[in-house]
Chains A and B, each alone.
Chain A
Amino acid sequence: MTRRGWVLPAYTTLVLLYLFLPIAVMILFGFNDIRGRFNFVWQGFTLRHWTGIWDTPELTDALKNSLLIASISTIVATSLGTMIALALTRYRFRGRGSTNLFIFLPLATPEIVLGASLLSLFVTANVSRGIGTILLAHIMFNISYVVVTVKARTQGFNREWEEAAKDLGATPWTAFRTVTLPLIFPGILAAAVLAFALSIDDYVITLFNAGATVTFPLWVAGASRFGVPPAVNVMGTLIFVVGVTLALLAVPLQRRRAAAPVAPPTGRVAG
């Protein structure tokens, strides 16, 4: 049975063009030589939005806040989430099923509800909102994502390897550090990258718990209320280029992981 034909490939190309349309527009309009506030009509080429991108203190402050929040929340959420994932994949214990369900609940709750319920708590407990409350919120929603990601990559993990290390005289900690950790590390890394991306991208939950603090997405939203400043396009383009470059650099790493016994090839894209 041969399955050739041009319909499906042509269709795939069309969908890809659709997916890239706003990205192309974003890149293009970062170079638009606009007069006035409105950046919707092409008026000529300029590099001035690029050369002056760090001249807006509101933008650089917001970016610094976002990077700080994303870094801290990634480290904390990845640690806490990995521990839960390890407990769930390595041990059979009472309440394992309900723990799985409990971890799933925040993922099934709309962002707006997560943000609103945290705000209810902070208002009730009279907690003033700022970087601290944003961090509490980001760590909370990231934990579940980390658990799911680490679990997906460690499902095939074989505890006998660790037992073998112990039989050969390794202490439990040495066995964990030299056998288990290297094997599950790609999963932890993937979870950390996901957590960082989710944190730096979050608008809705942050909006509810930011107080007077401005993060990068909040700045974008505020600046784009009326007319979109080209700086938004320039920043979008920068993020796009950095993200894609980092992802491409990670490809060799991914190849090596595919060859490792823990991650069966079909599991690679599941995250």
Chain B
Amino acid sequence: MAYLLLLPGGIWLLLFYVVPTISMLSVSLQEGSLEQGYRLTGNIGVYAEVLARNDTQIIRSILYGLITTVATLLIAYPLAYTIAFRGGRFKNALLFLIIMPFFVSFIIRTIQWKFVLADEGIVLGTLKEVGILGQGFHVLGENVAVLGGLIYNFLPFMALPLYVALEKMDKSLLDAADDLYSNRVVAFLRVTFPLSLPGVFAGSLLTFIPAVGDFINPEFLGSPETTMIGQVIQLEYLQNNDYPEAAALSFVLMAAILMGVFVYARLLGTEELTG
């Protein structure tokens, strides 16, 4: 009976997740061109080639992913803490306020930062007029703009798992720490924070994975100086039609992330990974 229930969905995932992944691996090992067709030649050298040629973008993507994860953690933790411990009967309303902006499409939400950050836009334009900023100051196209977009877009992915972990916590443990003459900083470091680690773990994964592979934020808020790996993959596939190279690059990204996830899971030793 269980297998019968698993079958249709399992076959779907097999056909449109596993088979494509194998197909991508196979395409990456082919040589040829769109006009003359491709032949499987087992050209492993393409991996060394794409790694060497795109090292800047690969390192940049990983850095952006790490900075985004740490920044969202730092911003979201006090937020989740406040709602979980001080939210009272407004808990659900506050949570709703946090996710409310995300009812707008990802892409529209990101494009709005163009309005906010535009050189003559509502924020910079005003600050320039008042004279706080010099006329030459600009943000769009810089690292800051892309990171700002990434941090904004992935904040709820960090905040919600943190909140769930903190909310689940048995609050009487803090009273116990207090009774044992622990001060609040020590109680936080030795009781609250360790108990919120599953949330930190889940939130970091939910933020880091999509951030590293992100394509929309650098595409709309960045410049050629902020190109991320997702943009290279898109360019090679859809504009240059260099399928083997694009496939090799996608495979590297996927393998790197999956390996990272498992190492991270081992380090934190949680079972949150597969629920």
Contacts and interface: CB of A to CB of B under 8 A. Distances in A.
A12 B101 contact: no
Given A118-B20, A120-B20, A23 B253 contact: no
Contacts of B118: 40
Contacts of A200: 105
B116 A21 contact: yes
Contacts of B215: 111-112, 204
Interface in B170-185: 174-175, 178, 184
**Main DSSP-derived SS at the B contact region:** helix
Q: Which of A28, A86, A140, A235 has the most CB of B within 10 A?
A: A140
A22 B112 contact: yes
A101 B83 CA distance: 32
Number of contact residues on B: which range applies? Answer: 35 or more
Interface in A3-41: 3, 8-9, 11-12, 15-16, 18-23, 25-26, 28-29, 39-41
Contacts of A90: 2
A183 to B, nearest CB: 17
A151 B274 CA distance: 11
Contacts of A139: 12, 16
A270 B121 contact: no
A220 to B, nearest CB: 5
A23 to B, nearest CB: 5
A112 B115 contact: no
A3 B237 contact: no
A199 B163 CA distance: 26
A204 B216 contact: yes
A123 B243 contact: yes
Nearest to B108: A236
Contacts of B27: 120, 123-124
A20 B101 contact: yes
Interface in A87-104: 87, 90-91, 93, 97, 99-104
Given A8-B78, A108-B258, A112-B230, A42 B122 contact: yes
Contacts of B112: 22-23, 25-26, 233, 236
B67 interface: no
A83 B247 CA distance: 33
Interface in B80-113: 81-83, 85-86, 92, 94-98, 100-101, 103-109, 111-113
A198 B234 CA distance: 20
Nearest to A143: B9
A220 B105 contact: yes
Nearest to A241: B103
A109 B254 CA distance: 6
Interface of B: 1-3, 5-6, 8-10, 12-13, 16-17, 19-21, 23-24, 26-27, 75, 78-79, 81-83, 85-86, 92, 94-98, 100-101, 103-109, 111-116, 118, 120-122, 125, 152, 155, 160, 163-164, 167-168, 174-175, 178, 184, 205, 209-210, 212-216, 220, 230, 233-234, 237-238, 243, 246-247, 250-251, 253-254, 257-258, 261, 273-275
Leading 4 A-B pairs by shortest Cβ distance:
A110-B213, A243-B103, A80-B9, A22-B112
Given A117-B24, A201-B107, A243-B104, 16 more contacts: A1-B178, A16-B98, A21-B116, A41-B121, A87-B6, A97-B274, A108-B205, A110-B253, A118-B20, A120-B247, A124-B27, A136-B16, A139-B12, A203-B107, A208-B238, A220-B108
25 contacts: A3-B85, A21-B116, A22-B112, A26-B115, A41-B120, A81-B9, A84-B5, A87-B1, A91-B1, A103-B13, A104-B274, A104-B275, A105-B258, A114-B20, A117-B20, A120-B20, A121-B19, A203-B107, A208-B237, A216-B105, A232-B108, A236-B105, A239-B103, A239-B104, A266-B168
